[in-house]
Chains A and B, each alone.
Chain A
């Protein structure tokens, strides 16, 4: 028997297979083929990328030279252009504007072969600080409404380069999914005077069934309404709408839980391709009581979605309870 579950954040229904649930071993592992050729993100090849925007560097090393620990550069093939005006216009009944935005790449570490989960805690912290720094800087640009931070790891997750990196896109619009989240969260808040995400975190902590990891400031769990097998989210336990307000001790805890859960995923699911996305509130002055920032992590397990694309209706063969169990039980 399957179950239909409704996501309290977006109102989306998902079919979750309960009886014939698929376990980690039911999925085929993806083959990783090492790529040949020169990596533009490796130390010594700094000239192959556009000039750096920001970097954590050792002592007296110069920009665009080796000696960095984390390096942020403009995307060489940006989806958007940073210079120019938006020039909103209508074309008959359609609306459009120029593709203005920032598209940056965060090279997480000089080492080509060490992924986020293989780094030292402090190295992961530096990646997170880089995210925060770039957010704070881009928030000053009045043209932008939203900053999207994400990572594609592995070919099936859409990564085109092997060297560990994440990306940041600053947008003059608010993405649809965020608008939906904000709208539903607002409705929930109006009705109950509580943040829907805070309520969800409480319920997950009470039930524990879907919890994967937890520390002082963060909790990682497989959402009750997971669209994809082994999908999970990391939430700050204390209410906060915006990622860039993260505090120093929280960065330490986030680095630890992110590294731990990514490592669990790598071991339990045989190094799958994955995407993660930071969901945060739009750039505005308001500190929202009804929104709660979080990181969504989605491994890409085999089967491609078909009708899910056009309908927003998903079918998940692995219940989040089993996913959480498998990720929790793997020995590190």
Chain B
């Protein structure tokens, strides 16, 4: 019998198929490694610094090297085709019944390695830890800009995950004057739970996942990765710090290598189990609270930052877009079993 499962945070129901569940080998492999290479030379490689738009916003560099030149580990540059523009005031206006804001925001690219490697799974841990540092530096800096409410950090790996043609590991950061709706749903959902129970819903989920163990993919050094109970997609995973924390950018320096380690482990498992599938990673963290101090009063207690990893194995039918209603052919318990047994 298929099952309806409800996401306890935002209340979305998902159908999880339990019979004829699809195993990794049942998905038509769509390997990112088989996608055609870009024709032009890679602008993200070391030595090609002039091919990205100036200025270099941030970099972890070898001592003595100059911005915009070789000798870096991680580099942050403005997007070559930004969806939002950094200059200008936020102007809200109405157009009849509609609301409009001019497109002010920041759109930055974090180049995660000087070498031409595409999958984050293939980067050394130190390199991933460097990227995490760059993420935190940039989010902290953008958070000081009172125009912005949220910085969305994400990674699109592979064409089917919405990536462009550049096959060089990178993530993107978009700072914007509004909160994304999905985040708002989570904030509201976890606040309601907290009001009722006086506990963080994510902490409760982590506890239950650790008790049952059925959906855990990895549990390493203070971080946990599991397939959520109401997974929308086959092999969807969440990565959370076990210790409560609402704001990703306050992750202490000494914990960053641990996050890098679990990320490398789960991404490697994913690559092996599903033959290098396309995927998205999205960070869900507390919004910037400066513009409206006190507005999200309880957030530090009731919200818990996490990363969502979503492999792109099926074509999402449009009715899922339009209805917000998902059918998942692989139960998360099965997904977790395949992934946890996979040697990293």
Question: Interface on A for B, CB 8 Å cutoff?
Answer: 1-6, 8, 10-13, 15, 17-18, 20, 79-81, 84, 91-99, 148, 150, 152, 155-158, 167, 171-173, 175-180, 196, 199-200, 203, 206-207, 224-225, 227, 274-277, 279, 296, 298, 300, 303-313, 315
Instruction: Answer whether residue B43 sits at the interface, using C-beta atoms and an 8 A cutoff.
Output: no
Q: Which of B93-101, B134-142, B258-266, B292-300 contacts A (4 or more CB under 8 A)?
A: B93-101
Q: Mask for B318-341, Cβ within 8 A of A = 1, else 0?
A: 110111110100000000000000
Q: Which 5 A-B pairs have the closest CB atoms?
A: A275-B318, A306-B162, A99-B2, A158-B317, A2-B103
- Known contacts A5-B99, A148-B325, A96 near B6 by CB under 8 Å: yes
A-B contact pairs, 10 of them (CB 8 A): A8-B99, A15-B103, A81-B2, A94-B229, A96-B4, A97-B4, A99-B1, A99-B18, A306-B280, A312-B182
Contact B83 A313 (CB under 8 A): no
Q: Does B156 contact A (CB under 8 A)?
A: yes
Q: Which of B12, B152, B181, B327 has the most CB of A within 10 A?
A: B181
State whether the Cβ of B17 lies closer than 8 Å to any Cβ in chain A. yes
| Across-interface contacts of A310 in B (CB, < 8 A) | 154, 182, 280, 282, 284, 308, 310
Asked whether B220 is an interface residue with its Cβ less than 8 Å from the other chain, the reply is: no
Per DSSP, chain B at the interface is mixed
Other-chain contact of B154, A6, A155, A173, A306 (Cβ < 8 Å): A306
Residue B53 CB within 8 A of the other chain? no
Closest to B322 in A: A277
Q: How far is the CA of A264 from the CA of B181 in the complex (A)?
A: 32
Please indicate which of the listed interface residues A92, A178, A274, A303 has the most CB atoms of chain B within 10 Å of its own CB. Answer: A92
Asked if residues A3 and B103 are in contact (CB atoms below 8 Å), the reply is yes
Taken together as a complex, chains A and B put the C-alpha atoms of A301 and B38 apart, in Å, by: 21
Partner of B181, one of A10, A94, A148, A224: A10
Contact (Cβ within 8 A) A304 B2: no
Residues of chain A with a CB closer than 8 A to B152's CB: 307, 311, 313
Q: Tell me, in angstroms, the Cα distance from A225 to B176 when the chains sit together.
A: 17
Contacts of A5 in B (CB 8 A): 98-100
The answer to whether the Cβ of B159 comes within 8 Å of any Cβ in the partner chain is yes
A312 and B318 contacting across the interface, CB-CB below 8 Å: no
Q: Are B162 and A303 in contact (CB under 8 A)?
A: yes
What is the bound-complex CA distance between A4 and B148, given in angstroms? 13
Roughly how many angstroms separate A178 CA and B12 CA in the complex, as a whole number? 11
Q: Which of A79, A91, A99, A279 interacts with B322 by CB under 8 Å?
A: A279
Q: Are the CB atoms of B310 and A15 closer together than 8 Å?
A: no
**Closest chain A CB from B191 CB (angstroms):** 16
A306 touches B323 (CB 8 A): no
- Most A CB contacts (10 A, CB to CB) among B100, B229, B317 go to B317
Name B90's closest neighbour in chain A (CB-CB): A4
> B208 on the interface (CB 8 Å rule)?
yes
Nearest CB in chain B: distance from A294 CB, A: 11
Contact between chains at B8 and A95 (CB < 8 Å):
yes
Binary CB contact string for chain B from 162 to 192 against chain A (1 if under 8 A, 0 otherwise): 1100000000101011101111110000000
Since A4-B178, A156-B315, A313-B180 are in contact, a sample of 9 more A-B pairs with Cβ atoms closer than 8 Å, ordered by chain A residue number, is A4-B176, A6-B98, A97-B3, A99-B1, A99-B15, A158-B316, A173-B4, A176-B323, A177-B325
Question: How far is the CB of A91 from the nearest CB of chain B, in Å?
Answer: 8
Determine whether B250 belongs to the interface, using a CB cutoff of 8 Å to chain A: no
Task: Give the docked Cα–Cα distance between A308 and B280 (Å).
Answer: 10
Please, which residues of chain B bring their CB within 8 A of the CB of A207? 96
**Residue of B2, B201, B319 with most chain A CB atoms under a 10 A cut-off:** B319
Most chain B CB within 10 A, of A10, A277, A310, is at A310
CB neighbours (8 Å) of B95 from chain A are: 224
Q: How far is the CA of A315 from the CA of B97 in the complex (A)?
A: 21
Q: How large is the interface on B (under 10, 10 to 19, 20 to 34, 35 or more residues)?
A: 35 or more
If A150-B318, A177-B325 touch, does A8 touch B98 (CB 8 Å cutoff)?
yes
Interface residues of B in 65-81 (CB under 8 A from A): 81
The answer to whether B316 touches A1 (Cβ under 8 A) is no
The reply to whether A94 and B312 form a contact with Cβ atoms under 8 Å apart is: no
Give which listed residue, A1, A80, A306, contacts B163 with CB less than 8 A: A306
Is B103's CB under 8 angstroms from A96's CB? Answer: no
The contact of B321 among A3, A167, A206, A298, by CB within 8 Å, is A298
Say yes or no for B230: interface residue by CB 8 A criterion. yes
Contact indicator B102/A4 (Cβ below 8 Å): yes
Chain A CB within 8 A of B291 CB: no
Tell me if B204 is interfacial: C-beta within 8 Å of chain A. Answer: yes
Smallest CB–CB gap between A225 and chain B, Å? 7
B161 within 8 A of A: yes
Quote the shortest CB–CB distance from B139 to chain A (angstroms).
15
B146 is an interface residue with CB less than 8 A from chain A: no
Closest CB in chain B relative to A222 CB, distance in Å? 13
Whole-angstrom distance between the Cβ of A290 and the nearest chain B Cβ: 14
Check if B118 is an interface residue, CB within 8 A of chain A: no
Per a CB cutoff under 8 Å, which of B6, B15, B83, B160 touches A17? B83
B116 within 8 A of A: no
Determine if B85 is an interface residue (Cβ-Cβ < 8 Å): yes
Residues of B contacting A93 in the complex (Cβ-Cβ under 8 angstroms): 8, 201, 204-205, 208
User: How far, in Å, is B222 (CB) from chain A's closest CB?
Assistant: 22
Q: Which residues of B contact A96 (CB under 8 A)?
A: 3-6
Contact A203 B182 (CB under 8 A): no
**Which single residue of chain B is at the shortest CB-CB distance from A299?**
B318
Which residues of chain A come closer than 8 Å to B284, judged between CB atoms? 310
Q: How far is the CB of B235 from chain A (nearest CB, A)?
A: 14
Closest-by-CB residue of B relative to A4 is B101
Asked if B13 is at the interface of the complex by the 8 Å CB criterion, the answer is yes
Is B10 an interface residue, CB under 8 A from the partner?
A: yes
Alpha-carbon gap, A152 to B314, bound state (A): 14
| Contacts A1-B103, A158-B317, A311-B282; A177 near B322 (Cβ below 8 A) | yes
